[in-house]
Each structure stands twice: as C-alpha cells, then as structure tokens.
Amino acid sequence: MPDGPHHPDAQRDPDERRVPDERRVPDERRVPDAQRATDEHRVPDAQRDPDERRVPDAQRDPDERRVPDEHRYPDEQREAVYRVIAERRDVRQGFRPDPVPADVLRRVLAAAHQAPSVGFSQPWDFVVITDRARREQIAALARKHRDEFAAGLPGARARAFDRLKIESILDTPVNIVVTCDRTRGGRHTLGRHVQPQTADFSSVLAVANLWLAARAEGLGVGWVSFFDERELAAQLGLPAHVEVIAYLCLGYVTGFAPEPELATAGWARRRPVSWAVHAEEFGRRGLPGEEPVDPLADVIAAIAPPDTAAMSAAAERQDRMTKPRGSLGVLEEVSVRLAGLAGACPAPLPEPACVAVFAADHGVHAQGVTPWPQEVTAQMVANFLAGGAVVNAFAAQAGAEVTVVDVGVAASLEPVPGLLPRKIAPGTADFTQGPAMTREQATAALTVGLEIARDLVAAGNRCLVTGDMGIANTTASAALICAFTSADPAEATGRGTGIDAATYARKVDVVCRGLARHRPDPADPVGVLAAFGGFEHAALAGFILGAAALRVPVILDGVISGAAALAAAALAPDATAACFAGHRSVEPGHALALDHLGLSPLVDLGLRLGEGTGALLALPLVQSAARALRDVATFDSAGVTEKQ
C-alpha cells in the first residue's frame, strides 16, 4: 500500500521511512545525518562558505565586533539550535500512536549520552520501556501518588489540577527512565568530593540533551514525577545504589503548543529572564550589557493607574445585569475596580489565591508593650506550618493556600514544606533606642516582599492575601501609622493582643518617644520603615507593590497590613488600586490607615487576630464580585424586560 501523498518511501532515506516528520525542525527535514550539526558531523571551517566564516566588522552590529567567532555556527544552524530550545515542551496530550523507529531512538539516546558530566563520570543509564503490561503497572503507581497530591490541594488549585492531564505513560509507545549511579567513577571522581550531588546534576544534563534531540526529531516528551522513587526503582529492578532521575514519555505528537501546557492552562507563568539573572552576587540583578536592576525601582516604575475604559465598561455592564441597579452595593464597586486593575471587562476570577504570612520579631518588645513572650512568634510559625492556626482553618474554608515567610524571626527555624526562609536578621532593634533597622535592611525586606509576590503569581495565583505574625508588631504599626498620617499616638495605638491599662499607657509612651526621637518624614517611606517598622511591615509593603506591578489584586488584612499599605502607597500612590481592604480591625490605627488610603473595609466583625484571617473572610466576597460581573446575564441577553 502507498504510504501517502507527501512522503513516499521511495523518496526517503531507508532509515527515515515511516517517520512522521511534519513536526521536525524544518531545517532538519530530509537532511542526511552527515550534514547535521552534531559534535560528530561539524563542517570544518575550511569547507564552509567564506561568507559564513568571517563577517566584516563594518557589516556587524557594533556590539558584535571583535568577537572571536571562528567556532560559531552559521546563522541558519544557530537559529535552529535556539529554536529547538525555545520549542521544547513538556508534552502530556496529543500523542500519536505511530511507533518510534529504532534508529531515531538510538540517535536521541546517543545525544543524551553526549551530555557533560562531573569528572566525565557519565553516571547515567537509560531504561527503555515499551512493554504495555509494565507501563500499566507504572501508570498505576503514578495515579496513586497523583490522587494523594490532589487530596492536599486547596479548592481552586484542586479544581484546576483536576482539569490537567499529568502523564502519558500509556499514550506513548516508548518510556525512557534516566537513572544515576553516584558511585560511578570511583572514590576520586574529579569535582564530586565536596558536592556529591553533582552526579545527579550530570544525569539531569543527559535528560536535557535527550529532550532537545527528541524535539529536533519531532518527538514530544513528557516528564512524569508522580512516583515514590524507591517504588519505581523496585518496579524497574534497579540496584539499591542506583536512583531514578527522570521518567520520560516519548512519542510523535499532533503538534507542539506555542507555550508550555501549564502556562496555557493557567497553572503557572513563565518568569522573565531579567528576574533570574544576577550580576556578580545574588540579589544584584542585571542582564549582561545592561545596568544592574534595582528591583524596587523597577517594580515601582511598573505600577500604573487603573484602566478607566475597563472600569467604565464594567460599570455599564453592572447597570445592564439582571438586577436592580446598585443592588449589589459595595460588590459592584469591587467588580469595577477589579476590571480597572486587570484592564479588562470582565476581570479574570481572582483565584487561585494564596495568603502569605510574613513573620518577624521586634526589638521594641523589650519595652514591655505586650505580656506575650517573644518566643511565641516562632511557636506560632510552627503552628501555621502544622496547619493548626486560625489562618489555616479560614484558608481551608476559602480554598486558599498558606505560605509562611520567615523574614526576621528571632529563632532558627527548621526547613519544612510551606516555609520560605528569607530572614533579613533575627528581629529588629528597639526603635526607642535607635532605628529599628538600617536603610539597607528595609530595602532588603521590601525586595523580599515584592519577589514573594512575583513568585506566587508566577506559580499561578491570581489573588494575593496579606498575613503577618510578630509579637509587639502592633506597637510598630501604631508608630508607622502616626508617621504616615500625622495621627496622635493616643488615637492610633490600640490594645493589641489584649493588654491592661498600665501596659497600654506604656505602649502609647513608647510610640511617642519613638516619634520624638526619629522625627519621621513621610516623604521618605523607606526611612520611615527603617525607623519604626518590622521586617514583616517592609516585606508586606513590597508584597503589595509586587502585586500592583503585576496587576493582581491583593486583599489586606488588619492593622499590620494597613500600616504596610501606607508605606507602599507612599512609594507608589497607584499601588492602592490593587488593594482591597478585607476588614476593619478593632485596632484604632487601622481605621486611620484605611481612611488615609481611601479604602472601605468589606467586613467589620470586631476582629483583632491578624495572621490574614480577616482578609481570608473577605476573599469569597471579592471572588463573588468578579464572578457576578462575568457570569450574570444582562437584560437584553436574557430577554428580561427592564424597569420603565
């Protein structure tokens, strides 16, 4: 039978017959192996077209002049290399039943085997699996761990995960397991003495080579990691000293998506390369040839006013929805503000959501402003991570994720899932004796907050929620609120966790003494934060700025978040467009802060806990406002007669 109109066998290299090649990199189609750009088949300079060997300086971009390029590939080949890198995808769907020819598999495996390795130890092996029965057993292992993972996801994440296809073990004709033998190369392998994990890293490079070669051949690859590594190793008969690095599913596909599948599904976003490049030392960001980036200045510059056209469209749609005008009260304003922030009507649903609890200790605790011992901060962080706090209960009810950030706890915290270690210092100094922190520390904490916001949004969150933990942080909040609003300390200072009259009087006096000592200038918000703030205040301010720059809504909790929002608004006034006041705390300073920011609380329940609890109670209201604008029919679309 003929193979089809496009690629008759008679016109192909015999080894290439029956290989679906419409998904190959075009430059590679029908190119004999001897002409492909591999380490074994490079074209010597002497045999190249002279115009490809040397580009006259006058014809080059000035930045390219005087670059030794005698070993550089010609433009067309170089573009093909970068293209295969850009188009590599973790594929989970759209696989075709076509078998993968043995010669193609050999080429892909040979490419993987050419990866660099520590001490040239080549610690990898490749287990090629085609047997259906074996793959069914392995797929069952993956399903078991997939279900366990799904059971622990918060609501919106669980719904999104349920829509994802996470493996194609049975949909692909070939599975390849890449392993690592850390003992290979012997005791004195070069480069492995201090860092034995470099053996694993070497095997990962083999995975990367395999993936790129597969894409060049038109093969899709999907990485499956829902396994207990030892369970899978037993299934494969691996010796005890050999570990699984990657389980890969290979096959021809109907097409390669323009973006990663998890990005198009809304599960995560790609981080810009500028976020990932550091100059000389970590934290000093800057792309080669460009000035180092000031992350704070960069974020502030990205914050823009709300989109008035989108707000007008949202207000007009509210008036046409099948309800009396204005009947949703404050929620109508929320939906309009969400549209202005997103620059679209209707705005995307603000889910998934994540509450970030920033934790730190305060030097002003030494002034006796609270009966609670300072070690409670670290103890409560442990409680958050164990899932035993009110914030955990409220987050579970609202379907939100809880992330805890150690930005300045005065104790060493063990690394556990859910804890982000970003400690600037073990607590601030006593602001009655001097600045609470240096200006550099304040900037560092701001940067921590904005980067946490960036990372959480890149992870797929569409709404951020502020949380805090820090014994004595209401004292620092009162000082910050006074500095930014010029309020009287007696009016801005509250009873925090519940203090007696003597302690309250001492607390007001501490705020007065701090203000008199530092004489804060609200036009210098970083200086104000350095004078009085906690590391969690500065980090929360950065968190708000980061959300505003990405045009993602951030729901504010109580007085600590309110004080941080004042600092954020002083740095970038348009940042308030991203802020939604979740509730009004009984702390008097919180009402002063909200009034100064021009924000109205969504709930007022007499709360004074912190942690993010009040903001989480408001999360369903913000989400409901967005959903109503999106889903409720209009009078004309529903055929409902409007009021005359």
The domain ranges of the chain are 88-267, 359-621
Whole-angstrom distance, CA of residue 21 vs CA of residue 23: 5
Bridge partners (DSSP) of residue 403 are: 356
Residue 154 has phi, psi (to 5 degrees) of: -65, 165
Q: Is 64 a catalytic residue?
A: no
Nearest to residue 366, comparing CAs of 531, 157, 480, 506? 506
* Residues in Cβ contact with 73 at an 8 Å cutoff, skipping those fewer than 6 apart: 37, 81
Domains 88-267 and 359-621 share a fold: no
pLDDT at 347: 97
Cβ pair 162, 150 in contact under 8 A: yes
pLDDT at 37: 38
Q: Is the pLDDT of residue 7 over 80?
A: no
* pLDDT, position 229: 95
Whether the pLDDT of residue 534 is over 80: the answer is: yes
The band of 38, judged by pLDDT with boundaries at 50, 70 and 90, is very low
What mean pLDDT comes out for the span 476-491? Answer: 97
Select which of 243, 587, 611, 642 is catalytic: 611
- At 32 the pLDDT is 36
- pLDDT-based confidence at residue 59 (cuts at 50, 70, 90): low
* pTM across the whole model: 0.84
What pLDDT digit, counting tens, does each position of 335-346 carry? Answer: 999 999 999 999
Alpha-carbon gap, residue 308 to 291, rounded angstroms: 34
Please give the CATH number for the structural domain made up of 88-267: 3.40.109.10
Q: Which position has the higher pLDDT, 497 or 489?
A: 489
Does domain 359-621 match CATH 1.10.580.10? no
Please determine, for residue 351, whether its predicted confidence score (pLDDT) is greater than 90. Answer: yes
Element (H, E) at 126: strand 124-129
- Give yes or no for residue 609 having a pLDDT over 60: yes
Residue 13, pLDDT > 60, answer no
Measure the CA–CA gap between 283 and 293, rounded to whole angstroms.
Answer: 9
Q: Has residue 49 got a pLDDT over 70?
A: no
Average pLDDT over residues 603-625: 97
pLDDT attached to residue 42? 40
pLDDT for 361-409, tens place per residue?
Answer: 999 999 999 999 999 999 999 999 999 999 999 999 999 999 999 999 9
Q: Which pLDDT score is estimated for 34?
A: 35
Is the predicted pLDDT of residue 174 greater than 90, yes or no? yes
Residue 4, pLDDT above cutoff 60: no
Question: Which whole number is the average pLDDT over 419-429?
Answer: 98
Arithmetic mean of pLDDT over the chain: 90
∠ CA 45-49-51, rounded to 5°: 105
Residue 31 has a pLDDT of: 36
* Contact between residue 443 and residue 333 where contact means Cβ atoms under 8 Å apart: no
Tokens of 498: 């519940």
Amino acid 1: pLDDT: 38
pLDDT, one tens digit per residue, over 245-273 is 999 999 999 999 999 988 888 888 888 89
